């Protein structure tokens, strides 16, 4: 199929996820109670986000969930959640922002992006975590046509708001776009929910495991970035 764009998740897709995990581990060691509450936050967020009715900015929504211990919607006002919001900024987001200034991609990512652009396709990005200058730090920003995160819309993948927002801003239909991510439950299922093809990369699996059977809704699945690059190059040649 002739795609018009290839779009990517960031964390764990373009760079090793251990970079983020090490930061979250430090949070858990230094502030164990708050770290535990934050680690539960995203599971609760995904559990309840389909029922959200209030328009609450993403990080304020996180503060609500961390403070309340549940994603079940409750009346929102900034005064009630200000201390938790400030703590999230201080302990989670500001340290992450510093971390991403020097984040390095998997080998070959920039070269893959260049191939995509040279073939006349657009590149988009949607990530659940804030962008934080990640693309600039990874030396990819000049190749990306559009980038957004959950900060922009207030939802996490696999909710359909996420990739519908990406499609809207690229001015493309779902069949025009291939999505690439490292999470089957978030990236692949999120893409399929809006009608996009999606491939899974950086799969942690033994050589004997049949990835096609393990991940049936993925158009393809790859253990390494180089495997994905080879497949994508062949796919673009067939256009």
* Strand partners of residue 148: 126
Percent of the chain's residues with pLDDT above 70: 98
pLDDT at 126: 98
Mean pLDDT of 111-125: 97
What's the order of all strands across the beta sheet hosting 5-8? Answer: 146-149, 122-127, 5-8, 177-181, 197-200, 220-221
pTM to 2 decimals?
0.91
Q: How confident is the model at residue 128 (pLDDT cuts 50, 70, 90)?
A: very high
Q: Which class for 90: exposed (0-12), middle (13-18), buried (19 or more C-beta within 10 A)? A: exposed
Q: Provide the b/e sequence for 215-238 (b: ≥16 CB within 10 Å).
A: beebbbbbbebeebbeebeebbee
Q: Identify whether the C-beta of residue 195 lies closer than 8 Å to the C-beta of residue 175.
A: yes
Mean pLDDT of 108-137: 95
Distance CA 182, CA 203 (A): 7
Give the model confidence (pLDDT) of 167-200 as tens digits.
Answer: 999 999 999 999 999 999 999 999 999 999 999 9
As given in the structure block, the two tokens for residue 37 are 């509450």
Domains (range + CATH), the chain: 5-16+106-237 (3.40.50.1000), 19-100 (no CATH)
Longest dimension (CA), the chain: 57
Find where tokens 């703590």 sit. 87
Q: Identify whether the C-beta of residue 225 lies closer than 8 Å to the C-beta of residue 202.
A: yes
Q: How confident is the model at residue 1 (pLDDT cuts 50, 70, 90)?
A: low
Find where tokens 């559009």 sit. 146
Which helix (H) or strand (E) segment is 115 a member of? helix 109-118
* Strand partners of residue 180: 8, 199
Q: Which class for 202: exposed (0-12), middle (13-18), buried (19 or more C-beta within 10 A)? A: buried
- Residues, the chain, total? 239
Distance CA 92, CA 33 (A): 14
| Cα 217 to the center of its chain, rounded Å | 18
């Amino acid at each position: 199929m002739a795609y018009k764009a290839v779009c990517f998740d960031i964390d764990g897709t373009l760079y090793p996820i251990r970079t983020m995990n090490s930061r979250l581990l430090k949070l858990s060691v230094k502030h164990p109670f708050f770290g535990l509450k934050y680690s539960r936050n995203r599971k609760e967020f995904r559990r309840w986000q389909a029922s959200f009715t209030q328009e609450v900015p993403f990080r304020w929504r996180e503060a609500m969930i961390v403070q309340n211990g549940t994603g079940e919607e409750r009346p929102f006002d900034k005064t009630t959640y200000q201390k938790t919001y400030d703590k999230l900024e201080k302990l989670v987001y500001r340290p992450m922002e510093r971390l991403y200034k020097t984040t390095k991609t998997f080998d070959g990512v920039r070269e893959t992006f260049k191939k995509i652009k040279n073939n006349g396709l657009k590149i988009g990005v949607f990530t659940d975590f804030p962008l934080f200058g990640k693309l600039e730090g990874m030396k990819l920003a000049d190749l990306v046509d559009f980038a957004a995160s959950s900060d922009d819309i207030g939802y996490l993948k696999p909710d359909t708001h996420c990739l519908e927002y990406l499609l809207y801003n690229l001015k493309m239909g779902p069949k025009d776009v291939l999505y690439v991510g490292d999470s089957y439950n978030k990236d692949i299922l999120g893409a399929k929910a809006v009608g996009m093809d999606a491939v899974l990369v950086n799969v942690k699996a033994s050589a004997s495991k049949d990835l096609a059977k393990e991940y049936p809704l993925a158009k393809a699945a790859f253990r390494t970035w180089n495997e994905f690059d080879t497949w994508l190059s062949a796919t673009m040649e067939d256009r």
